Structure 1
């Protein structure tokens, strides 16, 4: 059956940006395993083969997804000036990562755990390494500090998502029979039970970040 002319006019022309946007929507809504060219085509109500006029394969699509998501990490150069304390600059870059991870949690996880080589990821890496070099850290220490920051940011995000999910499934009363908790055996855990079931992701992340930055700040380094 021929499509209504009004529908044909209303439909937007297919573009690479539309395809990438649909891919991100699917990942965030259904998870990365659900992503396929066929599902994207269904999302956009187009034929599968038309997608290949804009992205040659799924690998290229993932690269484009990574570029789109990680573009938010490109904070203005003026926000991380060399005249500022290096820890302030680090917090600015970490905040950009954090905001992006909150906006695209599933997509960010996919990007960081897959073998994509997005230019935005390389730019972010160069920014952090330059920041550490300006602070006076030598090459080896800069690389290790970069890895420590990335491990903390990624790990904290995954841990906090899991902690929130876990706490929502826990009963709120330590006397609840579903709680296998003996105050005589674990008095400290019993005393902190309510605190353990009320995660505060933002406060916990900020505290952990300050601890990590303080530890890095104590490492020996030159004058920058």
Structure 2
């Protein structure tokens, strides 16, 4: 059995103790080689020890987990972020497409996070920048979103997304530059995320960026023409919402 080393960072003693206990009990292949409860103590520890996995709490008494990453920029550990149940933080992680453990966590959540860390599924610097910006500015609407494809992670400007199309449990993003990005999440997942960005679900299979709508044709059941000349059907139950949205555009 392959073994791994880990360091755990959390400023709440009970949470730190519990996570260490759960890792030692359920994941004997992981050896905890250090613990820290602050930005300063974690940075000092990481400059001496180089764990395979870093369990990193976001909010610490003397700063954030991001401060640690800035102090130790060459960190090669796989990071498992840990966060409290905060709606802004959860939204930030979704936009950045970064996995996390939500306190209080279930053993299954911990196991899944460790499995992904072992598989080298590590967020890149752009994703972490999206996450950091969203958490530091919780009242500001995120301008970027990270999209996981089968081969890589792409960070895109939300304003450059024309539309999204559903294909069962997959979603295809169509960008202004004609790029197409296929991701393995449902259209509903993104419809909920992008509501505040003026995206409208006009059909079971279509989510539209309102700013790219050129015309609404009322005949033939109703359909939209986008600025790139794409025709998008509008479902009967969404017709009134589309008309009302267009009438209220400023």
Q: TM-score, normalised by structure 2?
A: 0.24
Say which structure is richer in helix.
1
Q: TM-score, normalised by structure 1?
A: 0.26
Structure with more contact order per residue of length (Cα contacts < 8 Å, sep ≥ 6): 1
User: Greater share of strand residues, 1 or 2?
Assistant: 2
Which of the two has higher C-alpha Rg? Answer: 1
